[in-house]
Amino acid sequence: MHSEIRVGLLGYGIAGAVFHAPLIAATPGLALTSVVTTDPAKRERLRREHPGAVALDSAEQLFASGEHDLVVVATPNRTHVELATAALEHGLPVVVDKPFAPSSVQARELAALAEKRGLTLTVFQNRRWDGDFRTARSLVESGELGRVSRFESRFDRWVPTPKQGWREQAGAEEAGGVLFDLGAHLIDQALHLFGPVRSVYAEVSRLRPDVQVDDDFFVALHHVSGVRSHLWSSSLAAQRGARFRVLGDRAAYVKHGLDGQEAALKAGARPGSAGWGVEPEDRWGTLGIEGAERPLETERGAYENFYRGVVASVRDGAPVPVAPAEAIAALEIIEAARLSAGCGRVVELDAMP
């Protein structure tokens, strides 16, 4: 392996251009070597933003070059498994953008292939490093909230007119809709905080006219630990609710607004730049009991920690930042949620086919 891990990025849409390429470029030990995209406008954007990277026509061209040490799959969801499989079969470690796969069966097959080949395989769950989530996790782990009984988390948007693109297309293979898109984040965060889930109840809807995929959901998780997670997302939220509401028997943590790292990346900021990941005081959450709340400084957001973990895994064999088994567990919950929404009942995970 070269002094820097040479990265081949598949896809230069929102995921590739806004998230992966900037974070790769900002991570010591990584070099963005090639990007697969045939779109002229995206190639021009790549030339401006990452002049040292070469634009390639196809994944096959990238694999055949022999000039890469790591592949990042940031293409439409339906292609994740096919491209990650091809990369692993070429002996290359892989980062897959979420969702890991359209189904838990496919995800397990992919994880088994990586284990057989002895290769790094991880899933990009950047919102584990949101500042507000890091704050909530610190409060839970320190015991400052006491015994947590309920975790409420939501990720709302106001998109009354459906956008064009694969995320709005029907078909199980597309893995479109908000349950796969934003639900993958919310479920991953709940699992990361409170562990395995015993049962799932869900309401999954299509609210906007002529929409082909779900654009609104509520998912209730009953964790083995006893905690209940209530998760929401909607594309038709004219006003947003609290991002987090974590209720313990000593105190609660309530937080509004979204982590600012995505907006910062879109504006051209990068990890290491002034103020990166720091949330203004007027957006901090509150900690305490009603009538005695106090503002609580939000921990610094740190999306860069994901790729730092990738470097440690590829170079030194350290644990991956997001284990495939964790992504598979989230997919199993998404599948249980769809089943629950279809039958209108609670679904026990140990009874899933």
Give the tens place of pLDDT for each residue, 191-218. 999 999 999 999 999 999 888 899 999 9
| Within a domain: 101 | yes
Q: Tell me how far apart the alpha carbons of residues 20 and 11 are, in angstroms, rounded to a whole number.
A: 10
Write out pLDDT tens, residues 312-333: 999 999 999 999 999 999 999 9
Average pLDDT over residues 151-168: 85
Residue 153 lies in a domain: yes
Residues 248 and 273: their CA atoms lie apart, in Å, by 36
Q: With bands split at pLDDT 50, 70 and 90, how would you rate the model's confidence at 23?
A: very high
Res. 298 pLDDT band, cuts 50 70 90: very high
- Clarify whether residues 315 and 216 are in a common domain: no
Q: Are 332 and 100 in contact (CB under 8 A)?
A: no
Nearest in space to 342 (alpha carbons), one of 201, 232, 228, 209: 201
Indicate if 166 and 290 belong to the same structural domain.
Answer: yes
Helix (H, G, I), strand (E, B) or coil at 326: helix
90-111: pLDDT as tens digits: 999 999 999 999 999 999 999 9
**What is the span of the domain harbouring residue 60?**
5-126+306-321
Within a domain: residue 207? Answer: yes
Q: Give yes or no: residues 157 and 139 share one domain.
A: yes
**pLDDT tier for residue 56 given thresholds of 50, 70 and 90:** very high
CA–CA gap between residue 326 and residue 192 (Å, rounded): 8
Across residues 219-244, what is the average pLDDT? 97
What pLDDT is stored for residue 205 in this prediction? 95
pLDDT score of 168? 65
Pair 314, 257 in one domain: no
Residue 141 has pLDDT above 90, yes or no: yes
Q: Kindly state whether residues 227 and 263 are assigned to the same domain.
A: yes
Residue 62's CATH number:
3.40.50.720
Q: List b or e across 172-201, with b for residues whose CB sees 16 or more CB atoms inside 10 angstroms.
A: eebbbbbbbbbbbbbbbbbbbbbeebebbb
What percent of the chain clears pLDDT 90, i.e. is strictly above it?
91
Averaged pLDDT, 233-243: 95
Check whether residue 99 and residue 203 sit in a common domain. no
Would residue 168 count as lying in a domain?
A: yes
pLDDT tens digits, one per residue of 119-129:
999 999 999 99
Predicted pLDDT at 211: 86
Q: Does 23 lie in the same domain as 97?
A: yes
Note whether residue 353 is domain-resident. Answer: no
CA pair distance 123, 114, nearest whole angstrom:
13
Does 172 have pLDDT greater than 70?
no
Query: Do 264 and 155 fall within a single domain?
Result: yes
Does a structural domain hold residue 297? yes
CATH of the domain at 341: 3.30.360.10
Mean pLDDT of 41-58: 97
Is residue 100 domain-shared with residue 163, that is, in the same domain? no
Reading the block at residue 348, the tokens are 């026990």
pLDDT of residue 169: 65
The total of structural domains in the chain comes to: 2
Q: Is there a single domain that holds both residue 314 and residue 298?
A: no
Q: Let me know whether 234 and 341 are in one domain.
A: yes
Together in a domain, 71 and 140 = no
- pLDDT above 70: residue 83: yes
